[in-house]
Amino acid sequence: MKRIAKISALAGYRLEIEFEDGVTGTVDVESELFGPVFTPLRDEAVFAQVSLDEFGAPCWPTGADLAPDAIYAKLTGKPITSPSNHPKASEQPKRL
């Protein structure tokens, strides 16, 4: 699992991310902010409270969190893989 080392919230529901391996970038997560857990994050003051949990995943005090592997795949264009999970070439990366 990829771990995020640094994270900060930006305007427009974007996150500035730095992974432990040096991969960096900005991801727009506005399209992910739906459903009971994520709706409170539409308040930019709440969105700005992003932090990292013990697994290096973005999380908020509301209980919302995002998958670091999916963010890594989005930033690098590489599919999500792990030694115990060999996806078929036709599979798409998991959603953020």
Residue 10 in any domain: the answer is yes
Residue 83 in any domain: the answer is no
CATH number at residue 38: 3.30.2020.10
* Whole-number pLDDT of residue 17: 98
Residue 86 in any domain: the answer is no
pTM of the model: 0.81
Write out the residue range of the structural domain in which residue 55 sits.
4-76
| DSSP structural state of residue 9 | E
- CA distance readout (Å), 15 to 9, 49, 83: 5, 11, 28
Residue 90 in any domain: the answer is no
Residue 20 in any domain: the answer is yes
Residue 85 in any domain: the answer is no
Domain count, the chain: 1
pLDDT (tens digit per residue) in 24-60: 999 999 999 999 999 999 999 999 999 999 999 999 9
Residue 71: its H or E element: helix 68-76
